[in-house]
C-alpha cells in the first residue's frame, strides 16, 4: 500500500486502530477493478465484497466469480460478507476464489460453530455478523473463536440506508466482551456510515467501518472519502478523549 490511512484513538477505556473497509457494492461496476485499485492507493487494508443470494436478503449481488476476478488485481485483503442461506453452501467456493476473511450471519445457520471451523480449516479468518434485531448475546458461545464481529447498523440487503442508532449499544457490549477476555478480534460496523455516524460508531467501540457511498460516492474521489471519514473520527476522538494519534 502506498500510505497508511489508519487512525489510532487512545483513551482510558480503549486504544483502537480505526480502519475503513470500502464496500464495493457502492463502486462503479463498469470500473470495478479500477475502483478497487483506487481504494488500495488510498491506503486501506481491505475491501468488502457483499455476497447476496436473494434468499437471506432480497437483493442478489456478487459471487465467487467476482472475487476470483478481483484477486489478481489487488494485494488488499478481500473480506467476503455472506448474506446467504445456508452459508455452508458458499464458504468453500468463496475461500477458493481468494477471500481472506469470510463473514457469516448468525441468523443464517443453526450450526454456527461448525461454519466457523470450516472457515478456519480453509486457512481463512472467520467473522460473524448480527442483524440489528439480533441480541449480541447470541454470540457469547463463539466470540472466542472469531477474528471479527460485524454489528450490522442497518438491515442487510441494500446500500444507502439510514444508520440505526440503537445498534450502538450492541457495539459497546461486544467491545466490552473482547476487552474483558483480551481477545484479538475486530469490531466492525456496516450500514449508514458517513461523517456524522462514523465517530459515534468508533466511540461505541468499533474499529473497522464499512463504508460504501461515503467512499465511492465522494465527489473528490476514493482517497478523499477515506481521509474525510478518518478525519471525522480523529476530531471526535480529540473532543471526547483529549487525544488522537494519526498513524
Catalytically active residues, by annotation: 50, 190
Beta-bridge partners for 126: 102
Q: Estimate to the nearest angstrom the gap between the alpha carbon of 110 and the chain centroid.
A: 23
Round to whole Å and give the CA distance between 201 and 170: 10
Overall size of the chain counted in residues: 247
Burial track 90-118 (b if 16+ CB lie within 10 A, e otherwise): bbeebbebbbbbbbbbbbbbeebeebbeb
The full 3-state SS of 6-20, as one line of letters, equals CEEEECCCCEEEEEE
Cell numbers linked to 44: 486501506
Element (H, E) at 104: strand 101-105
Residue found under cell 483502537: 16
Instruction: Outline where 12-167 has alpha helix (H).
Output: 32-41, 64-70, 91-97, 112-121
Amino acid at each position: 500500500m502506498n500510505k497508511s490511512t489508519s487512525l489510532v484513538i487512545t483513551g482510558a477505556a480503549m486504544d483502537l486502530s480505526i480502519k475503513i473497509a470500502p464496500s464495493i457494492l457502492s463502486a462503479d461496476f463498469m470500473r470495478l477493478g479500477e475502483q478497487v485499485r483506487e481504494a488500495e492507493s488510498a491506503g486501506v487494508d481491505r475491501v468488502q465484497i457483499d455476497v447476496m443470494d436473494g434468499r437471506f436478503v432480497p437483493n442478489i449481488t456478487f459471487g465467487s466469480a467476482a472475487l476470483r476476478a478481483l484477486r489478481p488485481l489487488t494485494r488488499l485483503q478481500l473480506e467476503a460478507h455472506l448474506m446467504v442461506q445456508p452459508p455452508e453452501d458458499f464458504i468453500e467456493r468463496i475461500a477458493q476464489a481468494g477471500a481472506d476473511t469470510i463473514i457469516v450471519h448468525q441468523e443464517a445457520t443453526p450450526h454456527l460453530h461448525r461454519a466457523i471451523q470450516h472457515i478456519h480449516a480453509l486457512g481463512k479468518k472467520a467473522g460473524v455478523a448480527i442483524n440489528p434485531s439480533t441480541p449480541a448475546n447470541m454470540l457469547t458461545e463463539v466470540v472466542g473463536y472469531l477474528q471479527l464481529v460485524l454489528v450490522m447498523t442497518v438491515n442487510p440487503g441494500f446500500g444507502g440506508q439510514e444508520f440505526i442508532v440503537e445498534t450502538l449499544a450492541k457495539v459497546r457490549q461486544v467491545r466490552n466482551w473482547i476487552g474483558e477476555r483480551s481477545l484479538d478480534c475486530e469490531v466492525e460496523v456496516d450500514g449508514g456510515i458517513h461523517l456524522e455516524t462514523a465517530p459515534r460508531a468508533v466511540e461505541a467501540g468499533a474499529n473497522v467501518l464499512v463504508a460504501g457511498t461515503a467512499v465511492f460516492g465522494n465527489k473528490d474521489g476514493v482517497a478523499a472519502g477515506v481521509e474525510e471519514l478518518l478525519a471525522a473520527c480523529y476530531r471526535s476522538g480529540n473532543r471526547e478523549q483529549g487525544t488522537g494519534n494519526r498513524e
